[in-house]
């Protein structure tokens, strides 16, 4: 059986595992000492979970983000998954505006969903605190 033969539909799916492992490997390989994350904003609407349909943010996302500032924006989609929330909660030294840094590298990750009011992009900036 190959990876192409397996159909993942649950939390812990191949893409979630890849996101978690590669985030950890990347942070370690780059020698990142602190991670600062912009303010978190989820969309609105509903999402289908194992126990039914729930409002966005999903229950697991809300639980993971306890104690972290969270807002919602006018996008009718889930924008913060439990996987993304877990990565943010584990590694963030702070949330909000980017501190003053000397930029060394910039990376972009593009999502496939078309959003009405913003680009579906994750940007990572590597640098030294100024």
pLDDT score of 7? 45
Q: Name the DSSP letter for residue 45.
A: S
DSSP codes joined into one string, 68-129: S-EEE-S-SS--S-HHHHHHHHHHEEEESSPPPEEEEEEEEEE-SSPPSSS--EEEEEEEEE
In a domain, 96, yes or no: yes
In a domain, 109, yes or no: yes
pLDDT score of 51? 87
pLDDT score of 6? 47
pLDDT tens per residue, the chain (130 residues)? 444 544 444 555 788 888 999 999 999 999 999 999 999 999 999 999 888 999 999 999 999 999 999 999 999 999 999 999 999 999 999 999 999 999 999 999 998 889 988 899 999 999 999 9
In a domain, 107, yes or no: yes
Q: How far apart are CA 16 and CA 12, in angstroms?
A: 6
In a domain, 99, yes or no: yes
In a domain, 55, yes or no: yes
Where in the sequence is the domain holding 44, given as residue range(s)? 34-129
In a domain, 10, yes or no: no
In a domain, 14, yes or no: no
In a domain, 45, yes or no: yes
How many domains is the chain partitioned into structurally?
A: 1
Residue 113: count of CB within 10 angstroms of its CB: 9
Q: How far apart are CA 98 and CA 101, in angstroms?
A: 8
**CA distance between the termini of the chain:** 51
Percent of the chain past pLDDT 90, that is, above it, reads: 78
pLDDT score of 10? 54
């Amino acid at each position: 059986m190959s990876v192409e033969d397996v159909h993942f539909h649950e939390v812990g799916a191949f893409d979630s595992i890849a996101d978690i492992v590669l985030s950890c490997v990347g942070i370690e390989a780059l020698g990142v000492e602190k991670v600062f994350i912009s303010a978190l904003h989820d969309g609105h609407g509903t999402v289908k979970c194992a126990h039914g349909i729930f409002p966005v943010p999903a229950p697991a996302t809300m639980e993971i983000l306890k104690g972290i500032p969270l807002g919602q924006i006018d996008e009718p989609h889930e924008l913060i998954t439990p996987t993304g929330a877990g990565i943010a909660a584990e590694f963030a030294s702070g949330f909000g505006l980017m501190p003053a840094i000397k930029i060394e590298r910039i990376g972009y990750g593009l999502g496939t969903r078309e959003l009405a009011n913003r680009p579906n992009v994750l940007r990572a900036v590597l640098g030294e605190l100024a």
